[in-house]
Amino acid sequence: MNVIIIEDELLAKAKLEAMLISLDKSISILAKLSSVKDSIQWLSQNPSPDLAFVDIQLSDDHSFEIFRRYPVKFPVIFTTAYDKYLLESFEFNSIDYLLKPITEEKLKRSLEKIATLRTHFLHENILKLIQPIPAPTRNRIIAKKGTEFVALDIGEVAYFYTEHKIVFAKDFSGRQLILDKNLAELEADVDPKSFFRLNRKYIANLKSIERFKPDNGKIRVFLNPEMKEEVYVSKETAPEFRLWIEGR
């Protein structure tokens, strides 16, 4: 695994490098960088690493500025002596957040988390290759409004959700319709690029997601039309949601 370390404290940098190599002999340290400026320059001139360990407070600025100026697609583990940056870190491909002093035990858990996530997504990609090509997604679905039935264009659906064991579709005008399908069946019918299973109660259209924010590892999603209850993506599903929302 190719790793970069972004850290301006020489002792902390050397200690982290030593622990990484001790825990995993396959790790190769591609670069050890000390500032926002140097990091942006290195990233713009080199292939992306598999993982980055990044101190938040660098000599010239917070390291978040690196990722604001140079969006990255590799996972990041932030390291810091402060916990106040935890929520903000999840905006920048953060897989973990290590509080200093970093121990070998903490570092081992982080590497295990990375390995689990890589195995999960590799497994998912292999399954996609060996499974048959899925049937085309539906363009319309039959819904019920009162005593009448409606042919509902799926593209007009903001989200599907369950309430009191009844499945509803809410369109962008705010109209609420009843369906005779469960969420698992609907999930198989819709385009996975446009719709995402947020949790056991909601499948949302990408266009219905106004904004989202990290919340203790979970992700709170703000939908349009608005729902009275708060809607969350679980900690386990959060990495997959981030990849989907970015179009990956």
Q: What is the pLDDT of residue 33?
A: 94
Q: What is the pLDDT of residue 85?
A: 64
- Average pLDDT rounded to a whole number, residues 72-99: 75
- Average pLDDT rounded to a whole number, residues 48-59: 89
Q: What is the pLDDT of residue 206?
A: 94
Q: What is the pLDDT of residue 71?
A: 76
pTM of the complete model beyond 0.85: no
Query: Higher confidence at residue 204 or residue 92?
Result: 204
| The pLDDT of residue 207 is above 80 | yes
| The pLDDT of residue 230 is above 60 | yes
From CA 14, how far away is CA 9, in angstroms rounded? 9
Q: What is the pLDDT of residue 86?
A: 63
Give residue-wise pLDDT tens across range 127-144. Answer: 444 344 454 556 888 888
> Which domains does the chain carry?
2-130 (3.40.50.2300), 140-245 (2.40.50.1020)
